[in-house]
C-alpha cells in the first residue's frame, strides 16, 4: 500500500473563515482517519504569531507562519517567490521520507508556494478551484497567477461540473480536470439544541418565522437583493425575522433596510454549533448569491433538512433540485455588480412567501434535502473521490 504525506496549504483569507476553511477542516479530518496518510497543514499569514510554530493536534501537523515582512512592505512577484521558498526550506526536512508527497493548493495566489515545492521537493501538486474571479476584476497588465496555476499543477479539482465547464471554456484541457463535490460529516447535524434557548440568545421572538442567511457579508452573496425582497415579504407576513449570521461590511445593508431594521438581526460571526442550531429552528434558508460553486452553507442547510430559496445558477443547480428541496429563483441582467446578474427580487419575495406559508411543502423539502445530502455530499464520499484521483496521478 502506498503511503502519503498530504500537505494542505491554508492562506489567511476571509474565505478560510467560511467555505474554504470548512473544506480544509472536513478534508483534513477525513484524511487523518486513513491509515496510510499523514496530514500536514501549512498556515500562512497568521497575525497572532511573530515566528514559525509547529504543533500536532488531533493527528494533524500544523506548520504556522506569520506574515512576511517583505509582503507587508511591497507585494511583488519576487517577494512572493522568496517567501514561498523560505517556507518550503523550513518544512521539507520535517516531512517523513520515502512517501508520495501530495501538495494541495486552494487559492490561485498559492501558485508561488506550489512552484517552490515543485522546484525543490519530489511531489505532486493538486489544486482545488473553490471560486472564480470575474473577468472584469482581472488586471491583464500584471502577473496573473490564475493563468499560471493551471499549467503548474498535476490535477485540477473543481467542486462542481459547473466549475469544470467554466475552465474548459477558458481552454483548460478537460483531461486535467476532475470534478469532486465538497462533503461534510453528517454527524454534525444530529444533536438538537433547545429552540427556546437559541431564540432567546439571539433576540428572536418565540413565534416569529425565521428567514436565515448564513455566510460572509460580501457583494457576491446578493444580500442587497435579499433585503429588497424581504421588505416586500413583510407587507404580507409581518411576523417574519431575517437573521443574518456572518461578518463583513454591514453598512450598506443597514442603510438599505433602515425602514424595517426592527425585523432584522445581524449576528456577526457566531460559533458553528449555534449556526447548526439556527438551521434546525429556522423556517427557511435563503441563498441569493450572484455566483456559487459547492457552497458549504448550502450543504449545511441540506444536511439540516432546511427548506431553501436560492438563486438558479452555478453549483446551486447541482446541489439542489427545484421543487424537491429548493425553490430556485431566476436571475436577470444587472449591470450594478461585477457578475452582471442578480436574482429576480419579486420572485425571491414570492418564493419565500410560498414556502413560509406551506407547512406541507416545507416538510417535503426537508425530507428530500436530508436524503440528497447523505447520498451525495458527505465527507466520506468526498475523501474517497480525492484518494482515487491521487492514485491515478503518474
For residue 324, give the C-alpha cell. 424537491
Tens-digit pLDDT profile for residues 236-273 = 999 999 999 999 888 888 888 888 989 999 999 999 99
d(CA 390, CA 394): 9
CB 281, CB 195: distance < 8 Å? yes
**Coil, strand or helix: which one is 64?**
strand
> What pLDDT, on a 0 to 100 scale, did the predictor assign at position 249?
86
Domain with CATH 3.40.50.2000 in the chain: 4-185+378-391, 186-376
- The string of DSSP letters for 147-208 reads HHHHHHSSEEEESSHHHHHHHHHTT--GGGEEE----B-GGGG-PPPPHHHHHHHTT--TTP
> What pLDDT, on a 0 to 100 scale, did the predictor assign at position 73?
56
Strands 240-245 and 155-158: unpaired
Residues of the chain with pLDDT under 70: 13-17, 69-75, 133-143, 394
d(CA 390, CA 102): 8
Q: What is the pTM assigned to this prediction? A: 0.93
> Could you say which architecture CATH assigns to the domain 4-185+378-391?
3-Layer(aba) Sandwich (3.40)
> What pLDDT, on a 0 to 100 scale, did the predictor assign at position 268?
93
For residue 277, give the C-alpha cell. 442550531
In this structure, which topology does domain 186-376 adopt according to CATH?
Rossmann fold (3.40.50)
CB 255, CB 285: distance < 8 Å? no
- Through-space distance between the first and last CA atoms of the chain, rounded to whole angstroms: 16
> What pLDDT, on a 0 to 100 scale, did the predictor assign at position 143?
64
Element (H, E) at 224: helix 223-236
> What pLDDT, on a 0 to 100 scale, did the predictor assign at position 13?
61
Amino acid at each position: 500500500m502506498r503511503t502519503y504525506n498530504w500537505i494542505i496549504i491554508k492562506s489567511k483569507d476571509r474565505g478560510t473563515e467560511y467555505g474554504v476553511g470548512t473544506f480544509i477542516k472536513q478534508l483534513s479530518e477525513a484524511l487523518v482517519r486513513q491509515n496510510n496518510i499523514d496530514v500536514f497543514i501549512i498556515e500562512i499569514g497568521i497575525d497572532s504569531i511573530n515566528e514559525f510554530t509547529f504543533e500536532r493536534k488531533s493527528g494533524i501537523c500544523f506548520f504556522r507562519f506569520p506574515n512576511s515582512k517583505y509582503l507587508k512592505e511591497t507585494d511583488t512577484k519576487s517577494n512572493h517567490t522568496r517567501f514561498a521558498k523560505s517556507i518550503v526550506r523550513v518544512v521539507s526536512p520535517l516531512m517523513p521520507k520515502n512517501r508520495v508527497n501530495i501538495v494541495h493548493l486552494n487559492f490561485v495566489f498559492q501558485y508561488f508556494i506550489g512552484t517552490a515545492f515543485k522546484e525543490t521537493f519530489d511531489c505532486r501538486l493538486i489544486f482545488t478551484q473553490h471560486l472564480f474571479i470575474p473577468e472584469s476584476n482581472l488586471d491583464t497588465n500584471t502577473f496573473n497567477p490564475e493563468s499560471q496555476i493551471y499549467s503548474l499543477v498535476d490535477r485540477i479539482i473543481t467542486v462542481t461540473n459547473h466549475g469544470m465547464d467554466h475552465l474548459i471554456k477558458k481552454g483548460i484541457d478537460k483531461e486535467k480536470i476532475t470534478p469532486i463535490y465538497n462533503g461534510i460529516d453528517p454527524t454534525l447535524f444530529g444533536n438538537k439544541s433547545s429552540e427556546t434557548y437559541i431564540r432567546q440568545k439571539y433576540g428572536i421572538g418565540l413565534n416569529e418565522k425565521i428567514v436565515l442567511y448564513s455566510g460572509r457579508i460580501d457583494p457576491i452573496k446578493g444580500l442587497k437583493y435579499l433585503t429588497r425582497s424581504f421588505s416586500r415579504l413583510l407587507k404580507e407576513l409581518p411576523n417574519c425575522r431575517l437573521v443574518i449570521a456572518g461578518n463583513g461590511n454591514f453598512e450598506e445593508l443597514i442603510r438599505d433596510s433602515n425602514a424595517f431594521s426592527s425585523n432584522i438581526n445581524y449576528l456577526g460571526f457566531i460559533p458553528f454549533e449555534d449556526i447548526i442550531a439556527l438551521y434546525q429552528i429556522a423556517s427557511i434558508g435563503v441563498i441569493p448569491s450572484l455566483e456559487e460553486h459547492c457552497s458549504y452553507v448550502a450543504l449545511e442547510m441540506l444536511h439540516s433538512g432546511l427548506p431553501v430559496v436560492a438563486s438558479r445558477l452555478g453549483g446551486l443547480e447541482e446541489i439542489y433540485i427545484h421543487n424537491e428541496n429548493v425553490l430556485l429563483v431566476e436571475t436577470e441582467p444587472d449591470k450594478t455588480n461585477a457578475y452582471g446578474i442578480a436574482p429576480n427580487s419579486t420572485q425571491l419575495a414570492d418564493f419565500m412567501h410560498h414556502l413560509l406559508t406551506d407547512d406541507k411543502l416545507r416538510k417535503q423539502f426537508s425530507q428530500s434535502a436530508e436524503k440528497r445530502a447523505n447520498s451525495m455530499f458527505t465527507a466520506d464520499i468526498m475523501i474517497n473521490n480525492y484518494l482515487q484521483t491521487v492514485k491515478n496521478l503518474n
